[in-house]
Amino acid sequence: MQVYEAPIKDMLFNLNELHEDDGFGNLEGFEDFDEDVTAAILEEANKFCRDVLLPINWPGDQEGCRIENGVVRTPKGFQDAYKQFCEAGWSSLGVSQEWGGQGAPHSIAKMVEEMTCSANLSFGLYPGLTGGAMVALEAYGSDELKSFYMPRMASGEWSGTMCLTEPHCGTDLGMLRTKAVPQDDGSFLVTGNKIFISAGDHDLADNIVHLVLAKLPDAPPGVKGISLFLVPKYLPNEDGTLGNHNNAKPTAIEHKMGLKASATCQMTFEDSKGWLVGKPHRGLEAMFAMMNTERVAVGIQGLGVGEIAYQSAVYYAKDRLQGRSLSGVKNPDGPADPIIVHPDVRRMLMTMRAYNEGSRAVSAWVSRALDAEHASPEPEARARAKDFVALMTPVVKALFTDLGHESAHLAVQVYGGHGYIQETGVEQFARDARIAQIYEGTNGIQALDLVGRKLPDRMGRNLRSFFHPVSQYIEDNAGDEKIGKMIAGLQQAFGALQMSTGHIAQKGLKDPEEAAAAATDYLRLLGFVAMGYCFAKSAQIAYRRLEEGADDKPFYEAKIITARYFFDRLLPPVMAQMMAITSGKASMMDMPEDAF
Ligand SMILES: Cc1cc2nc3c(=O)[nH]c(=O)nc-3n(C[C@H](O)[C@H](O)[C@H](O)COP(=O)(O)OP(=O)(O)OC[C@H]3O[C@@H](n4cnc5c(N)ncnc54)[C@H](O)[C@@H]3O)c2cc1C
């Protein structure tokens, strides 16, 4: 049974209480989005996600997409849902007013994104990619391209894609073969084959705006020779009406493990007319603007699936009767107690809950930094926010998707055999969540980005944007009566993180393989310290609110219990990751290739 109601209280807690004072100051330009407006937006988004997107999630998975006469058809109900989504203004929520958007802060838009991903991950990809494409276009497109394409994409009338992957090149984009030949009128003719293109073709929007990586005839070899092109499916006329088909065609859709209602297409471009976005040979830089946005978005996909998996598991754990509680019968009128009484079921539910609340808290922190990067009145705060976003982007992407996947599997476990069969809809979460660990750069590549680029960048400046607030917080609150034990746990984990950082910096300097061998463990440790910091602060706020006699006592009490569970059960094993990190690369790399 797929059950979902957006965790609005927790979302508002993160926005209004936890990250109220996060060192980035008051942000300019978001004055219209006060607490009441924010709550109203989240309420409306919840209704849409619960009542429109959730009912077509499982049927969409069962039906999947299909290709008919060269055109992709989405499952029943998707067209109507997309129309409603755009008409209600959800496609333009976080888009600047300059392009006809509503200019909402990232911190609100990301909460709505989480809801979309919970209710229907496949659906969420269509507008999600459009949003990412708009980020690249806004940052690197010419004024002409922007004024023509951005408003149509903001309204959802036209959608977007990112076309990087080719059959022989995924992670290593330097090998790509798609070509772009300059034309006298300033345009380019793009020719090549791409695979795995999400939303490459569909029947939701009138036109599709592909952002395609390709090489110019004079391109230097490798990643320094890649350029970015905007290639529409239909060539638009000056008034925006659609002209000829531009030979950007889906040749097949991939048959995949999950995410079946999202059309993943093999695409061919054959002398398809396109326009350069950004400078020649600097396409990766422009594409990275999109990829960084998408990486945070994919992290939120992990959280979204984790949340619906948790809620669906709670529903079942209260309903399913098996065995008796070890502490005495809880359901004397029934033949057995609900399985939620059993400690092992509690372990699974509490783990999912803590993963979700911890991820949401870190996500809200990063989203607020995304806003501060542009909207803080102080240059210093803007720079600090930028450093923090750079550091945390790979962490959000990899950690949240790993945890979302773990949660989805825990939900299957809570359902027992009923989770493994299809009718309950729970195994869909596990299949859908799996891809988020792979696309937008695999989680292994995210970890390499963290240790190889983000840590050493400008002598560790990105890291300071995270280490400073955490160490200051520990110092200021070490004597706190209520959360003293949590602070002690946080201090220990932070110590392990500092030692691991020193180890990687020292060993990695002489031998990059040493840093690479430690990368995945290090990313998890850093992410858990970030969650620990947020949990300690959350519990502290909750204690304070309870003392003040807050109305919503059960919410704050539950927040404290979840934080306690995190510090008792989830943080200690991750601390031990320091042992793996400092053990070095030898046992990983010594095995001769022939012995595998
Ligand atoms: C459903 C779906 C949707 C997708 N959507 C899009 C899309 O919209 N647009 C798009 O362009 N692409 C898309 N992709 C492609 C996706 O981004 C790639 O699959 C992914 O980046 C990995 O590339 P690959 O599959 O070629 O794996 P490879 O690059 O072959 O990697 C295989 C394994 O080797 C590891 N590896 C590779 N190189 C290194 C290295 N240097 N160091 C350490 N480990 C390494 C990887 O981590 C991975 O575990 C999608 C894929 C799927 C399945």
Which of 61, 162, 171, 226 has most ligand 1 atoms within 8 Å of CB, for mutation? 171
pLDDT of amino acid 290: 78
Task: Give the pLDDT confidence of 42-87 residue by residue, as tens digits.
Answer: 999 999 999 999 999 999 999 999 999 999 999 999 999 999 999 9
What's the 289 CA to ligand 1 centre distance in angstroms?
A: 18
What's the 403 CA to ligand 1 centre distance in angstroms?
A: 19
The two structure tokens encoding residue 443? 């989680």
The beta-carbon contacts of 17-23 under 8 Å, at least 24 apart in sequence, are 17/541, 17/545, 18/361, 18/364, 18/365, 18/534, 18/537, 18/538, 18/541, 19/107, 19/364, 19/365, 19/368, 22/365, 22/368, 22/369, 22/469, 23/381, 23/384, 23/469
Atom of ligand 1 nearest to the CA of 262: 1
With vertex at residue 533, the alpha carbon angle to CA 531 and CA 539, rounded to the nearest 5 degrees, is: 100
Atom of ligand 1 nearest to the CA of 256: 1
Alpha-carbon span 170 to 175, nearest angstrom: 9
What's the 195 CA to ligand 1 centre distance in angstroms?
A: 11
Task: Output the CA torsion sign for 403, 408, 409, 414.
Answer: positive
Alpha-carbon span 325 to 330, nearest angstrom: 7
Atom of ligand 1 nearest to the CA of 442: 47
Atom of ligand 1 nearest to the CA of 254: 1
The two structure tokens encoding residue 255? 């048959």
Specify whether the CB–CB gap between 438 and 509 falls below 8 A: no
Q: What b/e string do you get for 312-350 counting C-beta neighbours within 10 Å, with b at 16 or more?
A: bbbbbbeebeeebbeeeeeeeeeeebbbbbbeebeebbb
Tell whether pTM > 0.85.
Answer: yes
Q: How far is CA 120 from the centre of its chain?
A: 14
The mean per-residue pLDDT over the stretch 319-323 comes to 98
Residue 559 confidence class, pLDDT cut points 50, 70, 90 = very high
Residue-by-residue DSSP string for 347-365: HHHHHHHHHHHHHHHHHHH
Alpha-carbon span 79 to 73, nearest angstrom: 9
Q: Which amino acid is at 334?
A: G
pLDDT of amino acid 324: 98
**What is the residue with the minimal CA distance to atom 14 of ligand 1?**
196
Phi, psi of 216 (to 5 degrees): -80, 160
Specify whether the CB–CB gap between 176 and 170 falls below 8 A: no
Task: Give the pLDDT confidence of 331-348 residue by residue, as tens digits.
Answer: 999 999 999 999 999 999
Specify whether the CB–CB gap between 502 and 463 falls below 8 A: no
What's the 394 CA to ligand 1 centre distance in angstroms?
A: 15
**What is the residue with the minimal CA distance to atom 48 of ligand 1?**
442
Rounded to the nearest integer, the mean pLDDT of the chain is 96
CA atoms within 13 A on the CB side of 322: 10
Judge whether 440 counts as a catalytic residue.
yes
The two structure tokens encoding residue 304? 């979204």
The two structure tokens encoding residue 206? 């009138």
**What is the residue with the minimal CA distance to atom 46 of ligand 1?**
442
Atom of ligand 1 nearest to the CA of 164: 11
The mean per-residue pLDDT over the stretch 143-165 comes to 97
**Terminal CA-to-CA distance of the chain, rounded, Å?**
42
Calculated CA dihedral for residues 275, 280, 284, 288, nearest 10 degrees: -60
Alpha-carbon span 37 to 41, nearest angstrom: 6
Q: Which of 519, 535, 523, 526 is nearest to 569 (CA)?
A: 535
- Is the pLDDT at 276 greater than 80? The verdict is yes
The CB density around residue 25, as the number of other CB atoms within 10 Å, is 16
DSSP 8-state symbol, 478: T
Task: Output the CA torsion sign for 230, 231, 236, 237.
Answer: positive
| β-sheet bridge partners, residue 227 | 214
Tally the residues of the chain: 596
Alpha-carbon span 136 to 523, nearest angstrom: 27
Atom of ligand 1 nearest to the CA of 162: 9
Phi, psi of 557 (to 5 degrees): -65, -40
Query: Which residues form ligand 1's pocket by a CB distance below 6 Å?
Result: 162-165, 170-171, 196-198, 256, 259, 264, 435, 438-442, 444-445, 448
- Is the pLDDT at 102 greater than 90? The verdict is yes
The CB density around residue 171, as the number of other CB atoms within 10 Å, is 12
Strand bridging mode 158-163 / 207-214: parallel
- Is the pLDDT at 21 greater than 80? The verdict is no
Task: Give the pLDDT confidence of 201-237 residue by residue, as tens digits.
Answer: 999 999 999 999 999 999 999 989 999 999 999 999 9
- Is the pLDDT at 292 greater than 90? The verdict is no
**Using CB atoms within 10 A of its CB, is residue 303 exposed (0-12), middle (13-18) or buried (19+)?**
buried
H or E element that contains 197: strand 188-198
Which of 125, 231, 257, 438 has most ligand 1 atoms within 8 Å of CB, for mutation? 438
Task: Give the pLDDT confidence of 125-135 residue by residue, as tens digits.
Answer: 999 999 999 99
Phi-psi region of 331 (alpha: psi -120 to 50; beta: other; left: phi over 0): beta
- Is the pLDDT at 509 greater than 90? The verdict is no
Specify whether the CB–CB gap between 235 and 300 falls below 8 A: no
DSSP 8-state symbol, 50: I
What's the 443 CA to ligand 1 centre distance in angstroms?
A: 10
> Considering 440, 475, 547, 557, which one is annotated as catalytic?
440
Task: Give the pLDDT confidence of 452-472 residue by residue, as tens digits.
Answer: 999 999 999 999 999 999 999
What's the 170 CA to ligand 1 centre distance in angstroms?
A: 5
Q: Where are the beta strands (DSSP E) in 199-241?
A: 207-214, 227-232, 234-236
**What is the residue with the minimal CA distance to atom 51 of ligand 1?**
196
| β-sheet bridge partners, residue 275 | 230
pLDDT of amino acid 287: 83
Which of 442, 443, 450 has most ligand 1 atoms within 8 Å of CB, for mutation? 442
Residue 293 confidence class, pLDDT cut points 50, 70, 90 = confident
**What is the residue with the minimal CA distance to atom 27 of ligand 1?**
170
Which positions ≥6 away from 495 have C-beta within 8 Å? none
Which positions ≥6 away from 165 have C-beta within 8 Å? 194, 195, 196, 197
With vertex at residue 85, the alpha carbon angle to CA 80 and CA 89, rounded to the nearest 5 degrees, is: 145
Task: Give the pLDDT confidence of 157-210 residue by residue, as tens digits.
Answer: 999 999 999 999 999 999 999 999 999 999 999 999 999 999 999 999 999 999
The residue written with tokens 């969540």 in the block is 433
Alpha-carbon span 386 to 380, nearest angstrom: 10
pLDDT of amino acid 230: 98
The residue written with tokens 């391209």 in the block is 145
What's the 438 CA to ligand 1 centre distance in angstroms?
A: 6
Residue 25 confidence class, pLDDT cut points 50, 70, 90 = confident
Atom of ligand 1 nearest to the CA of 259: 1
Q: Give the CA radius of gyration of the chain.
A: 24
What's the 230 CA to ligand 1 centre distance in angstroms?
A: 22
- Is the pLDDT at 579 greater than 80? The verdict is yes
**What is the residue with the minimal CA distance to atom 26 of ligand 1?**
170
Q: Which of 345, 419, 423, 424 is nearest to 336 (CA)?
A: 345
Which of 439, 520, 588 has most ligand 1 atoms within 8 Å of CB, for mutation? 439
pLDDT of amino acid 291: 80
What's the 141 CA to ligand 1 centre distance in angstroms?
A: 26
Task: Give the pLDDT confidence of 465-492 residue by residue, as tens digits.
Answer: 999 999 999 999 999 999 999 999 999 9
Residue 441 confidence class, pLDDT cut points 50, 70, 90 = very high
